[in-house]
Every structure is written in structure tokens, then in C-alpha cells.
Structure 1
Amino acid sequence: MTIVELPAEARALLPEPEPHRLLGTGATPDPTLWPELYRLLVRGRRLNEQATALTRQGRLAVYPSSTGQEACQIAAALALEPRDWLFPSYRDTLAVITRGVPAPAALGLLRGEWHTGYDPREHRVAPLCTPLATQLPHATGLAHAARLRGDDVVALALVGDGGTSEGDFHEALNFAAVWRAPVVFLVQNNQYAISVPLAVQTAAPSLAHKAIGYGMPGRLVDGNDAPAVLQVLREAVARARSGGGPTLVEAVTYRLDAHTNADDATRYRPPEEVAAWRERDPLTLLARDLRAHGLLTDEAERAARADAETHAAGLRAALTADAAPDPADLFAHVYATPTPHLREQRDAR
């Protein structure tokens, strides 16, 4: 049997043999960026807790918590320039909020408000996408259109490991690579597609290995290491912006909470597995390194928690107020020019 060795240009597309890490490796911290990442992680964790509580109170119809995945969410938003576009999935509210969308507006879709709660153009954030992976072709199309127009724009699309089993994932990657579209795909591999473990979804060594089949580089990063995720995403965004084409990034992380408030994760996840991943909590990992380098004091930690509580209180106040929907909104934005049938329905109210 003859073993054919991959050419150098193909080997360059393969991901790292182990997830890229900065925390705990002796890497020199950025004295400004790393404390800011910690502050945003603390805020994100508190917002997850508050949104979960509001769901239990009936103020949200459902909430897919990203507790344990905050490093991926925060890094995805910070990796982009204001002119770029973010394409989130349904679990990516923290990325949307970090991008600048007010928290109550970001949760509008999960509250059942009209038109997903915010204007996508204002912050260049696409609507939170509930169908799995359908936002990926949208991101590819926007990035390709921007490139054709000569706009200096990059699209970053988030998806979970379950979404990589959808046809939209493969179609988006194929088109993006063929067109060399300036788009970055971030797979948050949190180990489960609801109750389906990753091993049942794919036989690939990693999800990042799928990139080589489309002719784009794959990157593998520790999704609980916020500085490492941000570094890898910034490199991928810079590559896309300079004409290098798309990149597939797999962030290895874990969903500490249940899939949603309607899920009982104890039915399919052993408690010892969850406990092991709690030891890899992104807040704990970053705080440990910051303290080791003298960049996190007790006072700074208290300030971060106070900031988080202020944002949680604002979200709580906004969502405990009763909404006042206008029935006329049912007829708005259906067509650019309302049809006779729609006008008849509107006028008959």
C-alpha cells in the first residue's frame, strides 16, 4: 500500500494537533485587554443567570443559556470592526449584546416581540437565527457581495456543533471557499446537539478538520480560553479582510446549563462530566492568570461584579414591564407595497 503524503499547501490547511491556548501557558498577558475580557465575561455570566431567571418567571418564552461558552461569545464580538457583520445563532445573545445591541432588544425574539427586537443594520448584527445553520449561507452571501462591491467588510458567523450536521453548513463553506469570500465560521463545539453527543454526529478527528475538504484553513482553539479565542478570530478576520478567503474555527467548549429551560440535561449527561468541565470555567481560567500576573485585585473583581449587576438590573426592569404590542404591526413590513388583500385585512380591524 502506498501512502501519499499531502503537499505542503494542503498540510497548511490542517488545524493544530491540540487546541490553541494562552492561559496557563506562561504567555504574557495584555494588561489592558485581558482585564477587559474578564469584566465582559463576568457581565455575560450574570446576564445568562438573569435571563434564565426571567424565563422561569414567564418573562421570556425560552432562553438558551450560553453559560460556560461566554469566552466564545465575547471574543466573536470583539474580533470585528464596526463595519463588519455578525451572524449569530439562537444561543448567541451575549455576542449580540457585546456587539452593542441593548440586552432587552437582543432578547426580543425570545420574548416573542416583533421583528426580532432590533434593527440588524444599526449594529450590523443579523437576527438571532433559530433554524440550525441557515445563517451561514446568509453570511457567505453578504461577504461575497461586499467583496464584489469592493467594501472592506468581513462577516463572522457562529454555529454550534449540531449545526455542522446540516446541509447549510456544507453549502456555505463550499461557496465561501470557491468565492474566497471574506467570512469566518466559528463553531462553538459545546459537545452536544441538545442530547446528541459529538461522537454520534461526526467521525472526523475534529470539526476543524472539515475545513481542508473545502480548501480553507481550519483552526482549533480552547473555547474556554478567552484571550486565545480572540487571538485566533482576529487572525482569521485579518486574513479574510486581506483577501485570503474564509477560515473555519472550532472552539472546544462546554454548555454548563441545560440546552434550554425546557430541557433536562441530567437525562443524558453524567454529573462527573459536568463537574470536570466546571473546573475549566472560562471565568476561573482567566481570573487565575490575571491574579498570577497581578492584574486582578479584589477591588477590581468587586467592580466587575457591580458592573454586571447594574446591567442585570436594567435587563430585569425592562423585561418585567408589560409589553404593549400594536396590532397594526401585523400588517407592517409584510410587503414593500401592501397588497389589496393585506390592506383589506388592515382596514377591517
Structure 2
Amino acid sequence: MITHTVFDSIGAVLVGREPERAAIAALLDAARAGSGGSLVVRGVAGVGKSTLLADALVTASDLRVLRTSGVESESPLAFAALQRLLWPLRTYIDNLPAPQAAALRAAMGEAENEGDRFLAFLGTLSLLADAAEQAPLLVIVDDAHWLDDASAAALLFAARRMQAERVALLFAARDGDARRFDARDLPTVTLGGVSGADADTLLSAHAGTGIDPAVRDQLVTGTGGNPLALVELAGVLTTDQLTGRAPLPAPLPLTDGVERAFLDRYRRLDEPEQRLLLVAAADDTARLTVVRDAAKRLDAADTALDAVERSGLLRVDGATGAIRSAPGFSPVVKRIFSLL
């Protein structure tokens, strides 16, 4: 069996995503046939969401593509992301009903008044539908968790109403972040870690050598199969370590890229959640009861534990009551605090 691979702008390789690629292909085919729809791709940082979007672009050469993304610094700015998305279609605004056109011009910053948001949402839907009359349309929204509220509302409004329009909306949103993209009613696929032959392909592509199966399994266990972590490890481990002729370092090296990803997640937690994570980092028992009792003394309640689990930095083993580092490296929490 030949595995399809795609490299994105940072060199990640797409493997083991056939069900997700099939879901995207079905979305695009439906748009080509005149049935609009949407799909949300979710997953933690480094799991390959942007790589999957890049793969969608490869298969959508016959569609007109509009792109935007959420930007953290712009999240307080109403319609910032929508303005970037719709700017190539601005000449179509004149063809909209006058109330929608006026509201959308205001949202796009072409009128002084704020405009009616509901009419701006309707105008967004109408503008995308009109553009799709000329060619099927693919709308790609990356980092949707950082969309400003007005843009998110406008795009979700349109996504929920696509029916006979030749429009496909494809969102990518990070899990485990303090800010969420609330699209629970839309079709969703969630990316997990890779393992087995898929991990082999990923590691070999970046290491330039074959990987010993036992080494591969150790790396998958240590990283939760996170593709970004595996790619970066393939670049820093020696050929002897990857082929099993030399032991792996203990703990596994936490590369700059992965450090930044986990540190970014930590900084998005509220103060009680950060305190709980500090308690977990200082604890040597890995027992939930110990960590929970100590955290309560620091005013970090169980709600803080829930939030930390959602962040992906820790997980609780329901069967044993043990606290473990979540997908990522086993010493990740202690290393995070060494960076602060």
C-alpha cells in the first residue's frame, strides 16, 4: 500500500490521515455538485491540522480558494478575520440587497457606521453564495480558536446555512486552548497521534534512515504520537539512537519547537491552573489524591484540574488515579517550569 505524503511550509509530513482526508474529499465533492457544507478539524498543537489543510489545497485546484486565519493579537478586533477573507470579493458587494451591502461595508471598514451585525452575517452568506455561482468555492479558516467573535459568528452563521450553494467551509481549531472555537453542531474530525507504520514514515522521512521498531515505539510513547514532536526528535537524535545501536537519552530531549508549543499552552492557563500544574511538577508520587490535596491548599480547585486536562499538558488515568504528562514528553511539566 502506498502512503500519501504531503509536506507543509514547516516540513511536516502528512501520514495516517486517510479517514480525515476522505471526509475533506467528500466535502469538496459535495460543493462541486452544488451541495454546500462545512467541516471542523480539531486537535492539539503540532498534530497536523495545518498540514491537512495544505493537503486539501492540493486536491482543490479546480475550486476558487479564500483563506483567513485567527490571529491572537487581532481577536479583540471585530470582523478582522472576515475582512481578510472577503477582501477579494469586495466588488461583489454592490450586487447584494442594499441593507446587507451597507452592513457588510461597515464590517469591512468601508463605512463609518458600525452596521447591523445580523445583516452583515446575511451579507457574508450572500457574498459567498454569489461568488460560488462562477466556480465552486473553498473557504479555509486556520487557527479558528483565535477568530475575533464577530468573524466567528459570521462564518458559523454561513456554515449552518449552506445548502444548495457550491461552497465548502473548512475550519481548523486547536484543542486544549483557553480560547475555544464553539462549533459543536458542525461536522467535526479530531486528529490524534500517529503510531506504527505511520510513525515509521514520519520519522524516516525526516531522519533519512530506517527506524528500529522498538525505538519507534519508545518515541511514540514518549510523545503521544504527536507528529511535530516526532519530526523534531528525528532531527536531534543520532543515527545510532534511531537505529537502536545506541540507547535513547532519558529523558527525551525537548526541542525548541516543542518547548514553545507547551509553554504557549501553559501561559494561556489562568493563575489557579498554573499553580496546579506547578504542584504536579513538584510532586514525585504521580498520585491524583496527593496533587489534588496540595493544590486545594493553594486555592486551585478541581475546576483547575479540569482546565489543565483540557489544555493537554496533563491527564488523569481513570483506572489507576495516576497523573501523567499528556501527549507530549513525560518530563514536559518540569521542563516547562525550567523555562519560566
Indicate whether the TM-score tops 0.5: no
The TM-score with structure 1 as length reference comes to 0.31
The TM-score with structure 2 as length reference comes to 0.31
Computing the radius of gyration over CA atoms, which structure comes out larger, 1 or 2? 2
